[in-house]
Every structure is written in structure tokens, then in C-alpha cells.
Amino acid sequence: MSAEPSWVPVLSVDEVERNGVTLVRAAGRDYIVYDAPDGLYASLAYCTHQGALLRDGYFDRHLIECPLHQGCFDIRTGEPKGAPATRPLRVVEVRTRAGMVELRVGPGRSQAESAAAGQTE
Ligand code: FES
């Protein structure tokens, strides 16, 4: 298996939650697709603080607020923007091709590995 990231289709453009967040899975990991005013962005799905699922957070323009302790991230860069989140969220590239949303992700790993890592790296 190549270690290089590759483009993976995750859902159709029509399935994206308008002005909201959509949970998807690619290469064995969960990601969030964000429909921001200037286009689509994506990140790993879990907060870097204590692993809450960001799909359930409050999303506004380019910020996602964690539902558990209200840590905040800029979804364009993954930069933490509000305590208690201090570690960046891993963001991935997004594109649309032939009506599908694609994420550029690295090789997958097993569910057990993902659970052990809390998918927060
Ligand atoms: S789990 Fe997200 S801020 Fe604590």
C-alpha cells in the first residue's frame, strides 16, 4: 500500500448538509465535511482535547465549537481558537469531481488502531 495520500470519494455533493457539517468515513477513519461560505473544508471528526465528535458541535462560517467543552477550531487550518483546545485539528484537502466530494487522505488503518489513538491526532 502506498504511503502517499490519495483522493477518496466520500459522498455525493447533494448529500452535503448545507451550511452545516456532515460526518463521512474515508480510509477507515471518520471525517467531517464543512459547508462554509467559500466552499468545502474537512477535518478529522474528533476534538483534539478529549475526543468529542465535532459533528454535534456548533458550526459558524469557519469555526467549529466542540459540543463537550466548547473548545473552538478554525476549520480552514485546524488551528485551535478557543480553550480548552490547544492542539490543532488535522485538516485534509477537499475537492469535488463528477458530483462527488473527495478527501485527500493517507492510507487507512484498522478500527482498533483508530480507537486506540482516539482519532485525535
Ligand atoms: S472534548 Fe472538545 S473541548 Fe473538550
Chunked into runs of 10 residues, the chain (121 residues) has average pLDDT values of: 83 97 96 98 98 97 98 98 96 97 80 47 51
Q: What is residue 2's predicted lDDT score, i.e. its pLDDT?
A: 57
If one residue of 53, 65, 68, 89 were mutated to test the ligand 1 pocket, choosing by the most ligand atoms within 8 A of its CB, it would be: 68
Ligand 1 nearest atom to the CA of residue 66, by list position = 2
Which residues make Cβ contacts (< 8 Å) with residue 22, sequence separation at least 6? 11, 15, 16, 32, 33, 35, 55
Q: What is residue 109's predicted lDDT score, i.e. its pLDDT?
A: 53
Q: What is residue 57's predicted lDDT score, i.e. its pLDDT?
A: 97
Q: What is residue 12's predicted lDDT score, i.e. its pLDDT?
A: 98
Which residue type does 103 have?
A: L
CB 80 near ligand 1, within 6 Å: no
Cell triple for residue 59?
Answer: 458550526
Beta bridge partners of 73: 64, 80
Sorted by where each starts, the structural domains of the chain and their CATH numbers stand as 6-109 (2.102.10.10)
pTM comes to 0.87
Q: Is 69 exposed, middle or buried (0-12, 13-18, 19+ CB in 10 A)?
A: middle
